[in-house]
């Protein structure tokens, strides 16, 4: 065995003898298990590599390090919990190869142990996401299903106004599912780093004026104003994405805030700043650190028909442009979101 090479391997390697005692540990296995090899060698392997499965069964009690089938040469990878010498537990991926004699008795077991804490955390985050998404999709669908079947069963018993009300709810909830799925597609593109930016020269002042005009019609008469200096520079960016960012911020101001909404621009060196300011009530300072988090919502109340993905996506788009987004509470209680974008070449 070429031990100097094994010593430099980032994964843990242990050699267990036919008597199931430790014969060798490389440096990574010492670090993972917390056992110095001087103390580990000669001990029953399960004292040093105290492995159990997710259900809590210790590997050695089932004799599973060495499979019963004598033809097995390599075991498939298993994700197991390793209890370190200091009592701390770590998720590890374990594989074993068996060195057998002529009668197929195990002479030695070569075990590799890799720390998979990060992978397990990612898997966890992924299943959390799936649970949240399923829940978010199920509630509007339940309402669509409920109203539809009620209408189908008792069509004659409702008057036109009641029917119109139910159809409006169905329409609204179907839109909600569509919006959620569109947002999720954006999220998955962002997280996979596959958000395509079609960069070109962008006139943010013009985009902001257009957004203010378009959303002004949907803001119940609340004024939306775009204020950009004459000399505001053009930047290199994806115009559709920049528009999406401004629309998200203005729509939030329409939904969650009061008073007039101002979109303004400011040039500063090789960056431009775009502020979206509203007239409050503002975001509780306790919530401020979390509002860019996926699915984070609070105080949705009456107006809330969001998914909690808007600001997460907004931040992702801005960062894909190598920019950043900040939020501040105004002196009079309003909220100002500021995006900072590089002017680009």
Contacting residues toward ligand ADP, per CB under 6 A: 252-253, 256-257, 278, 283, 291, 296-300, 306-312, 335
**CB neighbour burial string for 33-64, b if at least 16 within 10 angstroms, e if fewer:** bbbebeebbeeebbebbbbbeeeeeebbeeeb
Q: Which residue is nearest to ligand ADP (CB)?
A: 306
How near is the Cβ of 310 to ligand ADP at its closest, in Å?
A: 3
Helix axes 160-191, 117-154, angle to 10 degrees: 160
| 148 contacts 170 by C-beta, under 8 angstroms | yes
* Cβ 281 to ligand ADP shortest distance, Å: 7
Q: How distant is the alpha carbon of residue 203 from its chain centre?
A: 32
Q: How far is the CB of 141 from ligand ADP (least distance, A)?
A: 18
Q: What single DSSP character describes residue 47?
A: H
**How buried is 113 (Cβ within 10 angstroms: 0-12 exposed, 13-18 middle, 19+ buried)?**
buried
Q: Closest distance between ligand ADP and the C-beta of residue 289, in Å? A: 12
Q: Kindly state the helix (H) or strand (E) to which residue 269 belongs, with its residue range.
A: none
Shortest distance, CB of residue 288 to ligand ADP, whole angstroms? 9
Nearer to ligand ADP (CB atom), residue 32 or residue 325: 325
| CB of 112 or CB of 314, closer to ligand ADP | 314
Give the Cα separation of 162 and 150 in Å (integer).
Answer: 11
Tokens 């649970």, residue?
A: 131
Helix, strand, or coil (residue 222)? coil
Rounded Cα distance between 278 and 290, Å, is 19
- Taking the C-alpha atoms of residue 135 and residue 67, their distance in angstroms, rounded to an integer, is 42
Q: How far is the CB of 200 from ligand ADP (least distance, A)?
A: 27
Shortest approach of ligand ADP to residue 252 CB, angstroms? 3
| For ligand ADP, the closer CB: 123 or 284 | 284
Distance (Å, whole) CA 237 – CA 203:
9
What is the nearest approach in angstroms of ligand ADP to the Cβ of residue 77? 38
Measured from the CB atom, the residue of 50 and 250 that comes closer to ligand ADP is 250
Nearer to ligand ADP, 26 or 252 (CB): 252
Closest to ligand ADP by CB, 173 or 278:
278
Residue 15, sorted as left (phi over 0), alpha (psi -120 to 50) or beta, turns out to be beta
Pick 308 or 323: Cβ nearer ligand ADP: 308
The DSSP string of 119-174 is: HHHHHHHHHHHHHHHHHHHHHHHHHHHHHHHHHHHHGGGS-HHHHHHHHHHHHHHH
Nearer to ligand ADP, 82 or 249 (CB): 249
């Amino acid at each position: 065995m070429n031990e100097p090479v094994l010593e430099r391997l980032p994964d843990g390697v242990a050699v267990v003898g036919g008597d199931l005692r430790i014969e060798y540990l490389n440096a990574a296995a010492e670090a993972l298990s917390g056992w110095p090899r001087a103390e580990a060698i000669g001990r029953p392997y399960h004292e040093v590599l105290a492995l159990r499965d997710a259900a809590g069964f210790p590997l050695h009690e089932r004799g599973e390090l060495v499979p019963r089938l004598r033809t097995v040469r390599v075991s498939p990878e298993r994700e197991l919990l390793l209890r370190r010498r200091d009592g701390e537990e770590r998720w590890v991926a374990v594989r074993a190869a068996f060195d057998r004699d002529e009668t197929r008795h195990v002479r030695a077991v070569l075990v590799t142990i890799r720390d998979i804490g990060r992978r397990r955390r990612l898997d966890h985050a992924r299943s959390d996401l799936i649970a949240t998404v399923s829940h978010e999709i199920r509630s509007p669908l339940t309402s669509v299903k409920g109203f539809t079947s009620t209408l189908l069963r008792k069509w004659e018993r409702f008057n036109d106004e009641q029917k119109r009300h139910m159809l409006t709810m169905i329409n609204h909830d179907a839109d909600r599912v569509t919006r959620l799925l569109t947002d999720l597609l954006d999220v998955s593109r962002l997280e996979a780093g596959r958000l395509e930016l079609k960069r070109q020269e962008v006139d943010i002042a013009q985009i902001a004026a257009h957004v203010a005009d378009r959303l002004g019609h949907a803001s119940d008469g609340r004024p939306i104003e775009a204020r950009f200096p004459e000399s505001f520079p053009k930047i290199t960016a994806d115009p559709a994405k920049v528009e999406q960012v401004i629309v998200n911020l203005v729509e939030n101001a329409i939904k969650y805030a009061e008073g007039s909404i101002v979109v303004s621009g400011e040039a500063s060196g090789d960056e431009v700043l775009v502020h979206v300011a509203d007239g409050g009530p503002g975001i509780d300072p306790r919530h401020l650190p979390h509002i860019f988090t996926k699915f984070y919502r609070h105080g949705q109340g009456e107006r809330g028909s969001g998914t909690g993905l808007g600001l997460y996506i907004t931040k992702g788009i801005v960062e894909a442009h190598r920019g950043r987004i900040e939020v501040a509470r105004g002196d009079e209680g309003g909220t100002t979101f500021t995006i900072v974008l590089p002017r680009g070449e």
